[in-house]
Amino acid sequence: MFESLSALSPDPILGLSAAFKKDPNPAKIDLGVGVYKDEQGLTPILDCVSQAQQMLLASETSKVYITPQGNQGYINGMVELLLGHNSAVTSANRVAAVQAPGGCGALRILAELLVRVNKNTRVWVSDPTWANHIPLLGDAGIDLQIYPYFDKNSASIKFDEMMDCLSKVSADDVVLLHGCCHNPTGADLNKEQWQQLTALASKVGFLPFIDIAYQGFGDGIDEDAYGLRLMAENLEEVIVAASCSKNFGLYRERVGLAAIICKDQSTKDIAQSQIQSVARGIYSMPPSYGGALVDIILNNKSLNDIWISEVEAMRTRMAELRAMLVSNLEDQNVDKDFSFINKQKGMFSFLCIPPEQVQALRDQHAIYFVDSSRVNIAGINHKNVSVLAKAIAQTL
């Protein structure tokens, strides 16, 4: 049977990671895979997570299945984290949600639900967007379209072109938006732009689909939820895919949330039954462990305070790394203004260099990042930043 299959090309990011591991160069630099790294190049377990693990170990008495929608304490805590304390949306009981296996699982659950609503659903994604958005949504049968977002020449958002494009979409269309720390560009909408976009969504009627995977890594935990909260408060319907991989460091635990903000409670009750049905048909019951840890952290005052400080430390460090890279590039007298890196947010930056230069950095200097020129800022440290800057200068 399986001889009829043909081999597929490796996933670009996973293939890059494999190539990095095989490279014998002791000075190699990995700026590809999107995980946070400390100064030693390690991805540490957060202190709040370590303490929560001990608390869970001491209190857990059974390994029986959790409920189909997931850990309710986790869901409640995440909804509050996303929408804010005392949100009018949550007070009106308008949010249907399930715990998902990571942000990827949340995206797929919502994609499958959209196909249930309309098998011809069309979703608009930004140019560029996170590469995995394409298979996660497209393989569910979604018709994907592209709206303008980022200009590599000016390293800025094509906001006017974006708005012009979205002003012409159908009221039945869905628009995928990055809640903060846009992946791969690091270029985020400002408050005024979110306000204009919210007004356009209200006028045109399209459904915002917000993917928020880096809350806390841009400007702050509450600040990074500005666009999401604005849309939730002013529109009847918004769908949200959230991830705890980055801001809780729970990459391998696969902790996510799929949420639907509905126009009223009765619609919410229907949506809750449907989203649970979708999840049931994919993986039956959600995993417990990671969600249980986040439940403990968000609902324990002491651990929550520690978590907030740890997110602040990661965010501050990444901002310092950006400034350090820009400074080192300036010292190399590079014939290109890289100051835009300081304006980008979160874990990623777009260097805005062509694929052939990315390949040259890989071949000649053992510096690994994806062909789009997206680099993981957290992969930079005090030991490798000057090497990186010199290599970029030589390659340009």
Residues annotated as catalytic (active site), given as ranges: 130, 211, 246
14-19-21 Cα angle (round to 5): 95
Contact between residue 25 and residue 364 where contact means Cβ atoms under 8 Å apart:
no
d(Cα 75, Cα 349) in Å, to the nearest integer?
31
Beta bridge partners of 159: none
Terminal C-alpha separation, the chain = 50
d(Cα 232, Cα 226) in Å, to the nearest integer?
10
251: which residues sit within 8 A by CB, 6+ positions away? 35, 43, 245
CB contact burial 131-166 (16+ within 10 A = b; e otherwise) = bebeebbeebebeeeebbbbeeeebebbbeebeebb
d(Cα 353, Cα 337) in Å, to the nearest integer?
12
- For residue 385, which of 319, 322, 315, 316 has the smallest C-alpha distance? 322
271: which residues sit within 8 A by CB, 6+ positions away? 96, 260, 262
CB contact burial 216-238 (16+ within 10 A = b; e otherwise) = bbbbbbeebbbbbbbbbeebebb
CA-based radius of gyration for the chain: 21
Sign of the four-CA dihedral 138, 171, 148, 177: negative
Contact between residue 218 and residue 181 where contact means Cβ atoms under 8 Å apart:
yes
230: which residues sit within 8 A by CB, 6+ positions away? 194, 195, 198
d(Cα 273, Cα 278) in Å, to the nearest integer?
9
25: which residues sit within 8 A by CB, 6+ positions away? 366
Q: How many CB atoms lie within 10 A of CB 195?
A: 15
